[in-house]
């Protein structure tokens, strides 16, 4: 699949306008649309690309009541982050030419705009529009005023001459504010393991079952990973323990604390004095938060190239999801984007000792 950006309109013609328009054009002939005085964007997209966008938004919409969207000339970034730094967070970056096969975006502010929006409403509107679209219909997404309230409007006119429209209240923010919603800075991960294919979401199912041990529910899950390629999840209540272990997983050694230990171990093995001890790290997280960062496996099953779970000792459990790559103009594979989910750890208690 190939996507190619193309300039369609001159944004200077629309400096007098007070509203923003984003068009997803599903017709064979693209039609120009308008973005604000400081923002212009035209796009032609397929029905599959709308499904792609909604699949990305779906897990992010469950992490925070509101999210922050930043458009620039080449990318869309979405940050789902609460003010509480101890809450889970999601961050997505995706190329616009992978969402739209034909688009134009420009502004007086370096072709950038930032919105605050309820992603759950956006997800619902996209799913609603997608269910009614045929390949000859057009979907428009535009930012306009409704009774003095800025709204992101998602609408379509179908081949049966019916019209479906959703008006989503939003807030326009200064682009500079997006710096406050970037991913948290963390230490180098101790262990990074590749997760099994999301088409078989066994890990998420196991975590759901670990929540309850008999009639009692555990508040926390212990996550442990090893450089030998295994990953375990343990739920504990007084007098009971349940553990799920996944073995034979591939390990990522680059950009991790394990990489230096791995290089030293390989050197020792070449000298006949190898070290059989693998690096393993265990952290404690709230089970509800851990489940939240695995919900991407529900909506994004067919939109994932690979995913990695990273354990930052005493700080964070991170899941990094690489979106499907595509062939560029030169025939080489190019990155589409990524979604990353952050779950903070909690401190161990003296009663947390496990055998």
The pLDDT tens digits for 42-94 are 455 667 778 888 999 999 999 988 999 998 888 999 999 877 778 899 999 99
Token code pair at residue 77: 């970034």
Residues of the chain with pLDDT > 70: what percent? 71
Question: 2 CB contacts (<8 Å, ≥6 apart)?
Answer: 326, 327, 328, 329
What per-residue confidence (pLDDT) applies to 192?
A: 96
Residue 8 and residue 65 in contact, taking contact as beta carbons nearer than 8 Å: no
Pick the CATH number of 191-352 from 3.10.150.10, 3.30.360.10, 1.10.240.10, 3.60.15.10: 3.10.150.10
More confidently predicted of 200 and 295? 295
Per the prediction, the chain carries an average pLDDT of: 77
Q: What burial class does residue 1 get, using C-beta atoms within 10 Å of its C-beta: 0-12 exposed, 13-18 middle, 19+ buried?
A: exposed
Pick the CATH number of 11-181 from 3.40.190.10, 3.90.470.20, 3.70.10.10, 3.40.50.720: 3.70.10.10
Residue ranges of domains in the chain: 11-181, 191-352
Element (H, E) at 190: none
Which range (223-227, 298-302, 327-331) has the least confidence?
A: 327-331
What is d(CA 147, CA 68) in angstroms, rounded to the nearest whole number? 23
* Helical ranges in the chain per DSSP H: 47-61, 96-99, 119-132, 202-210, 257-270, 287-292, 296-299
Which range (34-38, 249-253, 330-334, 343-347) has the least confidence?
A: 34-38
Q: For strands 40-44 and 20-25, give the pairing.
A: parallel
What per-residue confidence (pLDDT) applies to 225?
A: 96
More confidently predicted of 177 and 24? 177
The pLDDT tens digits for 101-147 are 666 665 666 778 889 999 999 999 988 888 887 765 677 777 778 88
Residue for token digits 């992010």? 60
Which DSSP letter does residue 187 get? P
């Amino acid at each position: 699949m190939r996507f190619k950006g193309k300039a369609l309109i001159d944004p200077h013609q629309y400096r007098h306008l007070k509203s923003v328009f984003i068009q997803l054009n599903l017709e064979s002939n693209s039609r120009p649309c308008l973005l604000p005085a400081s923002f212009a964007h035209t796009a032609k997209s397929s029905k599959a690309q709308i499904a792609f966008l909604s699949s990305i938004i779906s897990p992010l919409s469950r992490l925070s009541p509101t999210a922050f969207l930043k458009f620039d000339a080449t990318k869309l970034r979405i940050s789902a982050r609460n003010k509480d730094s101890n809450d889970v967070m999601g961050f997505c970056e995706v190329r616009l030419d992978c969402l739209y096969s034909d688009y134009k975006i420009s502004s007086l502010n370096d072709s950038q705009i930032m919105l605050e929006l309820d992603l759950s409403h956006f997800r619902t509107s996209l799913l609603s529009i997608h269910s009614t679209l045929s390949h000859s219909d057009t979907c428009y997404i535009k930012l306009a005023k409704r009774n003095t309230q800025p709204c992101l409007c998602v609408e379509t006119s179908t081949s049966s001459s019916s019209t479906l429209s959703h008006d989503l209240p939003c807030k326009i923010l200064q682009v500079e504010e997006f710096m406050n919603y970037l991913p948290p800075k963390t230490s180098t991960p101790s262990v990074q393991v590749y997760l099994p294919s999301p088409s078989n979401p066994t890990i998420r199912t196991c975590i759901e079952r670990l929540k309850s041990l008999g009639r009692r529910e555990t508040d926390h899950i212990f996550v442990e990973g090893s450089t030998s390629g295994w990953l375990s999840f343990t739920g504990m209540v007084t007098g009971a323990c349940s553990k799920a272990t996944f073995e034979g997983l591939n390990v990522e050694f680059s950009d991790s604390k394990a990489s230096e230990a791995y290089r030293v171990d390989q050197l020792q093995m070449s000298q006949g004095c190898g070290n059989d001890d693998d690096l393993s790290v265990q952290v404690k997280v709230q089970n509800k938060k851990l489940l939240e960062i695995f919900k991407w496996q529900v909506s994004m099953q067919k939109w994932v190239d690979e995913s990695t779970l990273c354990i930052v000792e005493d700080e964070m459990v991170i899941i990094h999801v690489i979106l499907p790559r595509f062939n560029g103009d030169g025939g080489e594979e190019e990155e589409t984007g990524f979604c990353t989910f952050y779950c903070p750890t909690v401190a161990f208690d003296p009663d947390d000792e496990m055998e």
